[in-house]
Amino acid sequence: MRFHFNGPSFVKAALVATLSVMALSACQTNSRAGKGSLDLSYDTKRGLQAYMQETFPTIFAASTNGKGYSYYYCATGGCRGTVSTYQKVLDKCEQRSKAKCRLLAISRNIVWQKDNGETYTLEELQNPPKPRASLGAMALCEKAYDKKSHYWSTDDAANPYISEIQKRGFTVDFCAKLNNQVAVPRFDIGNIALCTKAFDKDSQKWSTDSSALPYVTEAEMRGLTSNFCAKLTTANS
């Protein structure tokens, strides 16, 4: 980009100084931007969504493990992120997540790069790729089942695989048997409490919230249907 200065020397000097600060800020931004594979937790995805919905989003930082975040936005507009502002957001993120944080977005622009050098898209961060249809039951169980707890994994990254394996009609018992184990019941609660956590009254079907997935699984293991929970929660509301 070429600039043509046309005015008094002190104006030229001021403009040169401003451009120098902008160049330094851009350099500092690039050095603080995240690089590598990133899998956002459910809470971080919600934080990123809230940030993007702000009228003047400015800086969003995320931890390298995807489980923590912090962001800064301008209430009135006209704000510009500075080197010190970037650092404050990163420091806050690291204090909260107890992990290394890098810049994920500047304004509404994603700056975190994948291992191949490409920049993530917002859609990729909010909706990770679905499991390949070619994955067999054993491969899906490896991703979805936690051998230590003898139950579905609670890792956010496992949620797409759990959803896929359940669509195919496989249960946690099935995955447990593949690993020569017996599934361990997770919830010692009654059907009313279980339906309250698993059923979404607004959509009138099982909740798609990742935090509700274990309860949906437990309800289905008990032979409960979404129609049963609809009637049960309506009767007890």
Residue where a domain terminates, one of 57, 92, 126: 126
Residue 25 lies in a domain: no
The answer, yes or no, to whether residue 1 has pLDDT greater than 50, is no
The answer, yes or no, to whether residue 16 has pLDDT greater than 50, is no
Q: Are residues 115 and 65 in the same domain?
A: yes
Quote the DSSP letter at residue 33: B
Domain that holds residue 176: 137-235
Beta-bridge partners for 61: 70, 103
Residue 131 lies in a domain: no
For tokens 């995955």, what's the residue? 175
Q: Provide the pLDDT for residue 110.
A: 94
Q: Provide the pLDDT for residue 84.
A: 84
Q: Are residues 111 and 175 in the same domain?
A: no
The torsion defined by the Cα of 103, 107, 108 and 112, in degrees rounded to 10, comes to: -20
* Residue 14 pLDDT level (bands cut at 50, 70, 90): very low
Whether the CB-CB separation of 230 and 204 falls below 8 Å is answered with: yes
Residue 3 lies in a domain: no
Residue 166 lies in a domain: yes
Q: Provide the pLDDT for residue 158.
A: 82
Q: Are residues 115 and 142 in the same domain?
A: no
Residue 151 lies in a domain: yes
Average pLDDT over residues 199-225: 83
Measured distance CA(134)–CA(24) in Å, rounded: 48
Quote the DSSP letter at residue 170: -
* Residue 28 pLDDT level (bands cut at 50, 70, 90): low
Q: Are residues 145 and 230 in the same domain?
A: yes
User: Among 99, 88, 90, 96, which residue's Cα sits nearest to residue 65?
Assistant: 99
Quote the DSSP letter at residue 22: H
Whether the CB-CB separation of 32 and 102 falls below 8 Å is answered with: yes
Q: Are residues 93 and 163 in the same domain?
A: no
Q: Provide the pLDDT for residue 186.
A: 64
Q: Are residues 173 and 220 in the same domain?
A: yes
Residue where a domain terminates, one of 100, 126, 152: 126
Residue 45 lies in a domain: yes
What's the pTM? 0.49
Q: Are residues 142 and 122 in the same domain?
A: no
Residue 156 lies in a domain: yes
User: Among 108, 83, 102, which residue's Cα sits nearest to residue 37?
Assistant: 102
Q: Provide the pLDDT for residue 237.
A: 62
Residue where a domain terminates, one of 91, 126, 161: 126
Q: Are residues 38 and 109 in the same domain?
A: yes
Q: At 222, which helix (H) or strand (E)?
A: none
Domain count, the chain: 2
Cβ within 8 Å of residue 14, ≥6 positions away: none
Residue 65 lies in a domain: yes
Q: Are residues 68 and 150 in the same domain?
A: no
The answer, yes or no, to whether residue 5 has pLDDT greater than 60, is no
Number of Cβ within 10 Å of residue 3's Cβ equals 8
Range with lowest mean pLDDT among 65-74, 99-108, 213-222: 213-222
Burial 84-100 (b: 16+ CB within 10 A, else e): eebeebbebbbeebeee
